[in-house]
Amino acid sequence: MSGAQDQVLTSVQPDEQESTHSIEYIYSRYRDRISRYFSMKMDAASVDDLTQQVFVKAASNMHRFKGNAHIFTWVFKIAQNTLKNEYRRLARQHETPLDFTQLESQSISLEFTKYVDFRIDIGAALKKLGEKDQEIIALRFFADCTLPEIANLVGMRESAVKNRLYRSLAKLKNELNGWGSMANMSMEQFISIVNKGNSEHSDDQLKKANHDLFTELDAHVERLAVKYHYQPSRKVIIEMYSDLPTFHQAVGEEDAPNWFTGTYQNEILKIVSPLNPGPEHTYESIIKGTVHLFAMWIIEEINPKAPKWIRQGIGGYEAKLMTPEYIQSSIKETVRNHAIPTFAQLQDDTWDFETKKGFQFSYLFVEFVLETYGIEAMNQLIRDPQQVERIMNCSEAALHQQIVDSLQN
């Protein structure tokens, strides 16, 4: 990174402070749009640097802006010239710019249900479009340009831009018809771009994996929202990484155990591809594991302070990833040794949670509450876990003892 970021907000003349054409205003208003445009053209490491270069140039040339065009049009022309200069620089060094049509892992988001977006690779589909159509798609959906802005930038009539845009969308949709349920979704539900890492699998294999994931989620998403009385105010986004090392690196857990194949951060569920599940999982377990994550996400959305045994337990219970036979055989020794963990011990956020059979016992604790006290009691417990006595008519210790007794009988 150059020193551009340090310069961007310091090259402002005093008489520009209150103007909507001040560099502070322009930077805050258009930075994200310029950055998203560059992200379609260059690798992630270059995007921030090029974006800052644009606003440094805008700051130093503000006196040349005559006001006879929209300020964004002027800034975007700087961005286009900056990109061309970068391409020339790379050409002189015999390097190839990472254009979005060459990215196997470039993806977009399509609306899956009322609550879920799913990100898919469109690199191959974009290659079928001409250069001008690719530019119009990038300007409209990744730089958030209006049709008049695009017309000005590409030197075409607005009506011509509109026609080319919808023809291009139709072509893209046709290319994506093999993606199962996504064939009927609006291509205008684009949200963002992610780089998930390169995949060694064929398009048909990737399409099948995504279709299977859709099918699994389709059976649970709306049901869980109703069951736990929660209407999400934001969508969750599914990101799928090509293999375990890529996934572990993406979530900042390079040394994670092989069983760790999914997590969520804010509204984004991150999973490893079912095509590369690693040595401790299968294709099917990754697909079902996404339901586990979605259920956990709903509980945390309801109450970020809900105990881990409730979050993990509901995730496991709803996904049915573990069979009853597996659960019973895996905890048999622990139960025999009277070592069933307490609620507090299941708050463990280390990898030892798996060692102490935390997934199994959380599942069983939730199952007991649901079967003994019912879903309404569980919904109250999710929202107010400190009020066990009021909700269950027994203390937390007594509730735990009930669970222990049921497991030992």
pLDDT above 70 coverage of the chain, percent = 75
Q: Mean per-residue pLDDT for 112-125? A: 52
- Which pairing describes strands 262-265 and 268-272: parallel, antiparallel, or unpaired? antiparallel
Tens-digit pLDDT profile for residues 360-387: 999 999 999 999 999 999 999 999 999 9
Going by pLDDT thresholds of 50, 70 and 90, the confidence category of residue 257 is: very high
Q: CA 179 to CA 244: how far, in whole Å?
A: 24
Distance CA 136, CA 372 (A): 59
pTM assigned to the model: 0.57
Query: All domains of the chain, ordered by start, with CATH?
Result: 4-98 (1.10.1740.10), 102-189 (1.10.10.10), 305-409 (no CATH)
Q: Strand ranges (DSSP E) for 166-295?
A: 236-241, 262-265, 268-272
Strands (E) in 230-367, as ranges, are: 236-241, 262-265, 268-272
Contact yes or no for 83/51 (Cβ under 8 A): no
Residue type, 371: E
Task: Inform me whether the pLDDT recorded for 12 exceeds 60.
Answer: no
Residue 68 pLDDT > 50, yes or no? yes
Question: What confidence score (pLDDT) does residue 23 get?
Answer: 83
Region 10-16: mean pLDDT is 35
pLDDT given at position 380: 96
- Mean pLDDT for the chain overall: 79
From 390, 329, 315, select the one nearest 359 (Cα to Cα).
315
Query: Strand order of the sheet with strand 262-265?
Result: 107-111, 116-121, 236-241, 268-272, 262-265
pLDDT band of 124, cuts 50, 70, 90: low
pLDDT at 191: 23
Percent of the chain at pLDDT > 90 equals 38
pLDDT over threshold 80, residue 259: yes
- State how far the Cα of 157 lies from the Cα of 148, in Å rounded to an integer: 8
Which region, left, alpha or beta, applies to residue 43 given φ > 0 means left and ψ of -120 to 50 means alpha?
beta
Helix or strand or coil: residue 302? Answer: helix
How sure is the predictor about 358, in pLDDT bands with cuts at 50, 70 and 90? Answer: very high
Cα–Cα nearest to 266, from 242, 224, 296: 296
Reported as a pLDDT band with limits 50, 70 and 90, residue 6 is very low
CB under 8 Å to 264, separation ≥6 — which residues?
236, 270, 293, 296, 297, 300
Q: What confidence tens digit (pLDDT) does each residue in 290-330 have?
A: 999 999 999 999 999 999 999 999 999 999 989 999 999 99
Judged against a pLDDT cut of 80, whether residue 177 lies above it is answered with no
- For residues 124 and 90, what is the distance between their CA atoms, to the nearest angstrom? 24
Tokens linked to 319: 């996904």
pLDDT in the model for residue 29: 85
- At residue 103 the predicted structure's pLDDT band, cuts being 50, 70 and 90, is very low
261 and 277 in contact (C-beta within 8 Å)?
yes
In 3D space, the residue among 111, 114, 319 whose CA is nearest the CA of residue 230 turns out to be 114
In terms of pLDDT, which residue wins out, 172 or 86?
A: 86
Most confident by average pLDDT, 23-32, 107-116, 123-132, 188-197: 23-32
